[in-house]
Amino acid sequence: MKIIAVVGTKNTGKTILVTKIVQELVKRGFSVGTIKHVNHGFDVEGRDTWKHKEAGAELVVAAGDETFFLVNESLKLDNILERIKCFKKLDFMVIEGFKHSNYAKISTSDFEDKFTMKKVNAFEIDPDALHSLVDLIEERSYSMFSQMNCKECGFKGCTDLAQAVIRGEAEEKTCVMKKEKNVTLHVEGVEIPLNPFVQKFVKNTTIGMINALKTSQVGDVQGKKVELLIRDEDNR
């Protein structure tokens, strides 16, 4: 899932540009999600879901023609993205706001940092310019980096690689962590990145342990999907 943020000061057309980018991406056959940063709560006082939250529920779900999840806490952007990945497979996530995040950005104002790919006038962008902008988003936006800073890619860290991708000087696939996916670790649905050495260690140790057991039901496990679930004493 590639991520692109639309940032800028108030009333500079962020929502207008987000909708145009989403429409163009969908037209190209991509599945798209959106996240908007807001400075207020979502639930209206007096509604049933508000009453549930006020009663002490940590998670409130409203289910009908649409499904609405209300978590009674503020989550960081990366935590939100990780949770979305757990239940919805998307090609692109378009974010409105979060200007201090480390994702590729399109600015609708004078705001600019090392993750800004382009500044545009959202009110005056024409179809040709929008097409070129989305071409750039396809080419230079990227998914979540592990922040392991293993330096196997030749850069000083994940942030430097990300900025090089934005400048068109590197490709996301340069990241070794994105190539090495033989072993994945999830804790409460959140993926914990493992560097290549740890992945190989866990894989070889686990397969070696399983091969030492009686596995006549499945035979040799080499090349097969192996799942190991560990619960601690307090999480039965």
Per-residue pLDDT tens over the stretch 46-79? 888 888 888 777 778 888 888 888 888 888 898 8
Q: Are residues 78 and 138 in the same domain?
A: yes
Residue 174 CA to residue 214 CA, distance in Å, equals 40
Domain range for 135 is 2-41+74-144
pLDDT at residue 180 tops 80: no
Which helix (H) or strand (E) element contains residue 176?
A: helix 176-179
Give this prediction's pTM.
Answer: 0.75
State the CB neighbour count (10 A cutoff) for residue 174: 15
pLDDT tens profile 121-173: 999 999 999 999 999 999 999 998 877 788 888 899 899 999 999 999 999 88
- In the chain, what is the straight-line distance between the N-terminal and C-terminal CA atoms, in Å? 33
Task: Confirm if 80 and 190 have CB atoms less than 8 A apart.
Answer: no
- Kindly state the average pLDDT of the residues 195-212: 78
Cα 181-187-190 angle, rounded to 5 deg: 70
Please tell me whether residue 36 adopts helix, strand or coil conformation: strand
Pairing state between β 185-187 and 190-192: antiparallel
Task: State the pLDDT at residue 235.
Answer: 54
CA 225/CA 22 separation, integer angstroms? 36
Whether residue 191 is found in the same domain as residue 113: no
Residues 27 and 109 in one domain: yes
Q: How many domains does the chain have?
A: 2
Say if residue 105 is in the same domain as residue 206. no
- Please check whether residues 26 and 82 belong to one and the same domain: yes
Give SS3 for 220. Answer: coil
Q: Tell me: do 194 and 104 sit in the same domain.
A: no
Q: In the listed set 88, 123, 144, which residue is the last one of a domain according to the structure?
A: 144
Are 27 and 139 within one domain?
yes
Shared domain check, 217 and 137:
no
**25 membership: H or E segment, kind and range:** helix 14-27
- Number of neighbouring beta carbons within 10 Å of residue 6: 28
In a domain, 121, yes or no: yes
